[in-house]
């Protein structure tokens, strides 16, 4: 009889995920809090949010802790992180619905368990999408968010070619914060997490699927990062109002938009 792989320590994997994310974004918790302050001011106690590019559920878990009457539909396309999230956050029961869907593909909203949300939130995820995909995603979101509902995107949103001086300033500040090391060194924690978790026998099927879905390693694309201005414009064109930056530390920002 084939031996079953031992159950991984999902919570430990989530804790290590948080550690590596924080290693290149030391303001991560403050940025989560800034997003929750907006949700607290904009929504009633009981609400349902979409978490776009949820990973193993860092944002979802914090949101559900801060808002005990809330629920989250957490979407990602990576079977490995979805499995870590399901395992680590199983104690939250049906307050989380995990959805396996590609935010960059048309029709992803058909995988959602409902057609109406009070909010959509996302952290460190939408920079994975290219411009046409982002435009479509924001357009797809508009009819899903109820009137007076809110979208919040926390991510590195660069100034871009229109503001080269500010871009250089942000780059220098980032290097200073990391002791003069190159951006490459920021990837060390991410790469280590993936190298280590790939050894989990219980995740081998998920890794096969992951390699089909993400054939090139994240960060290898030569596309220039999508600037802040693009997000602002695309959200407005999709039908969101009062679109603006509500929190920022150089290019690390939280964007808000209302229906």
Q: Which is nearer to ligand SAM, 29 or 242 (CB)?
A: 29
CA distance 183 to 6: 36
- Binding ligand SAM (rule: CB under 6 A), the pick from 103, 170, 226, 234 is 103
Residue 61, Cβ neighbours under 10 Å: how many?
A: 22
- C-beta of 202: minimal distance to ligand SAM in Å? 19
By CB under 6 A, the residues from 108 to 167 that bind ligand SAM are 123-125, 128
CA distance 102 to 119: 19
Smallest Cα–Cα separation from 74: which of 106, 45, 103, 46?
Answer: 103
* Token reading at 180: 């003069």
User: Measured between alpha carbons, how far is residue 106 from residues 41, 99, 135, 137, 173 in Å?
Assistant: 32, 15, 11, 8, 38
- C-beta of 2: minimal distance to ligand SAM in Å? 29
Q: Give me the residue label for tokens 């030391």.
A: 26
- C-beta of 33: minimal distance to ligand SAM in Å? 13
Is 78 a binder of ligand SAM (CB under 6 A)?
yes
By CB under 6 A, the residues from 29 to 58 that bind ligand SAM are 53-55, 58
- C-beta of 95: minimal distance to ligand SAM in Å? 17
- Binding ligand SAM (rule: CB under 6 A), the pick from 43, 49, 59, 228 is 59
Q: Which is nearer to ligand SAM, 196 or 242 (CB)?
A: 196
- C-beta of 4: minimal distance to ligand SAM in Å? 26
DSSP result, 94-159: GGEEEEE--TTSTTGGGGSS-S-EEEEEEES-GGGS-HHHHHHHHHHHGGGEEEEEEEEEEEE---
Is 102 a binder of ligand SAM (CB under 6 A)?
yes
Chain residues binding ligand SAM by CB under 6 A are 21, 53-55, 58-59, 76-78, 81, 102-104, 123-125, 128
């Amino acid at each position: 009889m084939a031996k079953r792989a031992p159950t991984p320590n999902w919570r430990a994997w989530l804790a290590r995920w948080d550690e590596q994310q924080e290693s290149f974004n030391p303001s991560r918790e403050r940025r989560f809090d800034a997003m929750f302050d907006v949700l607290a001011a904009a929504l009633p106690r009981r609400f349902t949010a979409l978490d776009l590019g949820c990973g193993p559920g860092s944002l979802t878990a914090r949101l559900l802790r801060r808002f005990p009457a809330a629920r989250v539909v957490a979407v990602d396309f990576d079977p490995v992180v979805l499995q870590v999230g399901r395992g680590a956050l199983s104690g939250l029961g049906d307050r989380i619905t995990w959805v396996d869907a590609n935010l960059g593909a048309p029709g992803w909203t058909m995988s959602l368990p409902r057609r109406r949300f009070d909010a959509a939130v996302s952290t460190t995820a939408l920079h994975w999408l290219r411009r046409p995909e982002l435009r479509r995603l924001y357009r797809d979101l508009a009819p899903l968010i109820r009137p007076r509902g809110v979208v919040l995107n926390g991510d590195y949103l660069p100034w871009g070619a229109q503001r080269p001086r500010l871009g250089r300033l942000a780059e220098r500040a980032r290097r200073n914060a990391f002791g003069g090391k190159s951006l490459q060194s920021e990837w060390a924690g991410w790469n280590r997490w993936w190298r280590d978790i790939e050894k989990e026998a219980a995740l081998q099927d998920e890794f096969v699927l992951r390699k089909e879905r993400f054939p090139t390693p994240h960060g290898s694309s030569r596309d220039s990062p999508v600037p802040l201005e693009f997000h602002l414009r695309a959200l407005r064109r999709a039908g969101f109002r009062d679109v603006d930056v509500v929190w920022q530390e150089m290019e690390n920002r939280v964007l808000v938009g209302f229906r």
